[in-house]
């Protein structure tokens, strides 16, 4: 992960054709953004990277329980 560039943490797809991704933006504080179908759904700020990564995983797990799948 490059501390100076936005980093895509994960990409998911839904069988209905939708796509989602989590992007971590560098800075102080860090900004974690979530996009659905290329539109920003939300942005959250964090002081520590481990908390931001935990939150990204939490959202990913939640979406996967709703039928979303890894988009590799």
Indicate if the pLDDT at residue 1 is higher than 70.
no
pTM: 0.90
Confidence check: pLDDT of 48 > 90 = yes
CA quadruple 61, 10, 33, 14: dihedral sign: negative
Asked if the model's pLDDT at residue 3 lies above 80, the reply is no
**Preceding peptide of 29 cis, ω within 30°:** yes
Six token digits for residue 27 = 């800075």
Mean predicted confidence (pLDDT) in 65-72:
93
pLDDT class of 72 with cuts at 50, 70, 90: confident
């Amino acid at each position: 992960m490059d501390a100076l560039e936005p980093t895509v943490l994960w990409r998911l797809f839904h069988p209905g054709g939708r796509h989602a991704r989590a992007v971590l933006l560098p800075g102080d504080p860090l900004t974690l953004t979530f996009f659905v179908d290329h539109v920003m759904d939300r942005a959250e700020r964090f002081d520590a990277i481990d908390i931001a990564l935990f939150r990204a995983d939490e959202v990913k797990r939640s979406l996967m329980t709703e039928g979303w799948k890894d988009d590799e």
